[in-house]
Structure 1
Amino acid sequence: MAQAGVLLTKEPAPQAVPASDLPAKVCELELNAWPDSSRGLATAGFRTAKYLPHEWHQNNSELYRQAFAGCKQAECDRAEAKVLAQYASATAQRTQQDSTAALGRRLQNIRCWKAELRKEIEDLDGETRLLAAQKVRLERALDATEVPYAIATDNLQCRERRQPPDLVSDEVERELLKEAELIRNIQELLKRTLMQAGNQMRLNRDHKEVCEMDWSDKIEAYNIDDTCGRYSNQGTNIQFHPSSVKFEESASTPKTWAKFSHDNIYRAEQEKLASISLRALIDNILHDVSEDLRMQCAAVNQAFARRCEELDHAKYKLEHHLKKILQEIGDQEANVAALKRAIKDKEAPMKVAQTRLYDRSFRPSVELCRDEAQFRLISEAEELTESIESLKKKLLESEQSLRNLEDTRMNLEKEIAVKTNSIFIDRQKCMPHRTRYPVVFKLAGYQ
């Protein structure tokens, strides 16, 4: 090794000679040295393909140099590799920490949006339940209007059985017609409101479903990112996925991602506000409907009460007049009887006067004189005749008056019967039926 060191320092390293060329040169030198020697031919086989001493030294020197250069290069490579490995390790650790922190921030964003969506889903669900309760109130209120409508129509039909002249379009009929029209309008309003409530509930459920889908996707994404954040270099469930290092064409941007959830929440909030407004409208409608129906019911009842009072008063006056007519009929019958007796009582004096005149017509000769007695008898007969005629005329008038009184009595009795029938219909048929009118609490849609 010392000699090798001396050779390397004293002599420059010769260029490497291919080993395949050396035997040919040695043979050539030996042949040139002893061209005619038989001894050279005899030893030619031992000298073939052998190196010269200096070539042997050169070859060793070259190997030593290559070994030294290889050691130096390997030492530099080891130093560079160590530095590069340290840098790569630090870079990998830093980038992994940055990625983990980014996943944490992403998880925080997802958690915030998830909480907002959850709150909106719960609000929409609660609002839909409240609106469903209002819809049930509307249905109950609509069902409750059937009884007032049946009462109003039954009252109108019962009052059609009144007899003339009480079959009039009075205040009660006008109020009943107004009540029936009011109930029909209320029923149409409640039906339209029911349809609107059903549509709003459907919209609430649709937007709740959209928010639930978004919330579900965020739950899945949260679980995936949370799992990704928990991966470590010592984990057993990690492996190579070279094809995953790319951006998906359908991937959203953070802006569009946030806008998607924001739009879902905004639309859900709008539907929630619309549902709240509709519930307030339903409250107002049911309150106004119940108040209007009870007010109209009170107006109809008051009209019935006034009409029954009018009928009672008219019946009382008719009965009072009937009582007078009956008394007058009795008096007139007595008068007719008295006139007939008076006429009959005049028959005897008439017979006496006429008999006297008849007998005096047989006086003889000059005794047939127009004396005072004759004039008085004639005057008496004429007066009696005139009195009888007057009595008969008065009798005819009294009898006609009696017949008129009888007709009036019949008319009054008939009218009293009509009034009695009208009072029975209004007071016994209609008004008791109206006691079944629903209370305000039930008309407002409550049980």
Structure 2
Amino acid sequence: MLHMNISGEILVLTRMYSRERGQRMHSEHESVEHGSAKPGLRYSVSDWDTSNKQISDTAEHRRHMSHMTRQEGRALRNETTSKTNWDKSDSSRRLSDRIWDISRWRETLESCIQEVEKEMDALTLGKEETERALTATAVPLEVTVECLTLREGRRGNELVSDPVEAQLKKEVEMIDGAQRVFQQRIDKAFEQLCLLQVSRQQLTHDLQNKIEAQDIDLSCLSITVTSPKISLKPNPLRIPIGSTTPQQWEQFSQYNVARAQEEMQASLQLREDMRVTRVQLQNELDAQRIATVFAIRKRTHHLEQACDETQWQMKSSQDEISDMERDIRSLEDDLQAKMAPLKLVHTRLENRTKRPGVDLCRDEVQYGLVDEANQLEATILALKQKLAQAQYALQALQLHQAHMEEDLSRKKDALFLEQRSLETRGRLASAAFTDVSSGAVVPLTNSSGRHNLELA
């Protein structure tokens, strides 16, 4: 403001001086032109003194104004130099503070990125373990289905819905359920890996921006007034499009870090869920496998007892059949032996009917022969009845013997199938459900390795 007042006063004085000089030169010019006509204008001594005093006063005033202008110029130079130096130092300090803020956030972002990458590696490992657990259920399911198929080969009354079948079907259902749960966990882990990767990319992008901003601020801090690359720029005071406030800048990084921490917490919970799921399903499948093996062994023991009982019954029946066959032969022999006495009695009775006259009497001999004939006929009838009963019993024994032989054959086949089932389930001993020491695993789904995909 002081500079502007001084400049205005100088401008006014300059104009006044120019106007007086112009008037004086015009008067002198008119005097010269008309000198031949009449004499020039004469001034008085007082006018001359006044003119001299005015010239001196004006000179003093001009010197005073010049002195004031010089003093104010020096003060302005000192003031502006100090202000310029202070502003430059203050800007450098602000740049230093800003660089420190960016460095602090760089460290925070770098640390958060490392934590996210560690969590991604841990989640990937948990996902791979779950995939191996899922793949490992293929062999138990195949073995269980094979056991069910084998037991469908039982024949006759051995094809029963026993506890073994119930346990095998239950095991199939449990394995199917475990596979669904494992697949759900794997899909969830893949989705969480995608979210973690998005967070990591956001953090990385934010970190790269801060690195570039810090490099630019460091470059600005290193520039001095003697730097060769400094120059005037067109419209340097403009506000660039997309500019943000310091609060928005800090809130953006805070949001990225908070989001990454939330995703890491969700990933940690998911890893714990997968671990608990693997252990829980492992225990359930192990318990069911033991229950199934126990049921098969129990059924095998019952079949062995039934086979032993049937074999003993068959041996006893065979002995009885042999005894019955001998008794039948004895009955037949006895029956055949009774025919000769019967023929003798019949012949005697027939011959005695030829006695003549009064001698044809019913004497004691007649009564005795009749009693003997009746007794022989009753004996023969009893022997025939008993022979028929014996033959029927023998036939029943033989039929039941054949039935027992067929039943024993079915039991042996069923026992063989149970033993084959046990042998088949022996494959589970070499294929543990959670064999993490195995080599390359071919998962049942196409989700293996998807965590390595880069998101667009």
Same fold (TM over 0.5): yes
Decide whether aligned partners of structure 1 residues 283 and 445 sit closer, same or farther in structure 2, where only a CA change above 3 A counts: farther
CA contact (8 A) 2:154 2:410 kept: yes
Please state how far the C-alpha of 1:62 moved relative to its aligned partner. Answer: 9.0
After TM superposition, give the deviation of residue 96 of structure 1 in Å.
0.9
| Aligned partner (choices 65, 69, 76) of residue 84 of structure 1 | 76
Q: In the alignment, which residue of structure 2 is the partner of 1:127?
A: 119
Deviations 1:329-364 (A, max 9, x none): 000000100000000111111122112122222222
Render the CA deviation track for 1:219-265: whole Å, top value 9, x for unaligned: 11111111111111111121112412233353211111111111111
8 Å Cα contact 2:139-2:431 kept in structure 1: no
| Aligned residue runs from structure 1 range 260-339, under 5 A | 260-339=252-331
The answer to whether 1:152 aligns with 2:144 is yes
Distance in structure 2 (CA, Å) of the matches to 1:103 and 1:264: 24
- Within the candidate set 415, 418, 436, 2:427 is matched to 436
Could you tell me which runs of 5 or more consecutive residues in structure 1 were left unpaired when the two chains were aligned: 1-14, 34-47, 49-54
Contact 1:289 1:444 in 2 (8 A): no
Write the distance in 1 (CA, Å) between the matches of 2:327 and 2:385.
13
TM-score with structure 1 setting the length: 0.86
Q: In structure 2, what is the Cα distance between the partners aligned to 1:31 and 1:88?
A: 63
Q: Which moved more, 1:103-112 or 1:329-338?
A: 103-112
Q: Could you tell me which amino acid in structure 1 is paired with residue 260 of structure 2?
A: A
Distance in 2 (alpha carbons) for counterparts of 1:369 and 1:281: 117
Deviations 1:294-346 (A, max 9, x none): 11111100000000000001111111111110000000000100000000111
Contact (CA 8 Å) 2:158, 2:411: kept in 1 or not?
yes
> C-alpha deviations, 1:258-280, integer Å up to 9, x for none?
11111111111100100000001
Name stretches of at least 5 consecutive residues in structure 2 with no aligned partner: 1-19, 41-46, 439-456
Give the letter for the 1:119 counterpart: S
- Whether 2:386 is the aligned partner of 1:380: answer no
The answer (yes or no) to whether the contact 2:304–2:415 under 8 Å persists in 1 is yes
Q: Is the 8 A contact 2:136 2:432 kept in 1?
A: no
Q: Deviations over 1:153-179 (max 9, x none)?
A: 111111111012111110100000100
- What is aligned with 1:24? 30
- AA aligned opposite 1:270: E
How many Å apart are 1:31 and its aligned residue?
3.9
Which of residues 250, 253, 277 in structure 2 aligns to 1:258?
Answer: 250
Match of 2:411 in 1: 419
Shift of 1:60: 11
* Secondary structure at 1:311 match in 2: helix
1:163 to 151, 155, 162: 155
The percentage of counterpart residues that share the same residue type is 28
Distance 1:213 1:272, change over 3 A: same
CA RMSD of aligned residues (A): 2.8
* Shift in CA distance, 413/176, structure 1 to aligned 2, threshold 3 Å: same
CA contact (8 A) 2:136 2:431 kept: no
Q: Secondary structure at the match of 2:158?
A: coil
Q: Does 1:395 align with 2:387?
A: yes
* Bigger-Rg structure (1/2): 1
Shift of 1:414: 1.0
Q: TM-score scaled to structure 2, two decimals?
A: 0.85
What are the Cα deviations for residues 128-156 of structure 1, in whole angstroms up to 9, with x where unaligned? 12111111122221111111111111111
Q: Secondary structure in 1 aligned to 2:186?
A: helix
| Residue 244 (structure 2) pairs with residue 238 (structure 1) | no
Contact kept in structure 2, 1:290 and 1:444, CA below 8 Å: no
Deviations 1:88-147 (A, max 9, x none): 111111111111111111111111111111111111111112111111122221111111
Other structure's SS at 2:240 match: coil
Tell me the secondary structure at the aligned position of residue 243 of structure 1.
coil
With a CA cutoff of 8 Å and minimum separation of 6, indicate the structure with the bigger relative contact order: 2
Deviation of 1:79 after TM superposition, in Å, equals 3.2
How many residues are aligned here?
417
8 Å Cα contact 1:164/1:418 also seen in 2: yes
* Partner of residue 90 from structure 2, selected from 91, 98, 111: 98
Return the letter of the residue paired with 1:180: V
Alpha-carbon distance in structure 2 between the residues aligned to 1:370 and 1:235: 173
SS at match of 1:332: helix
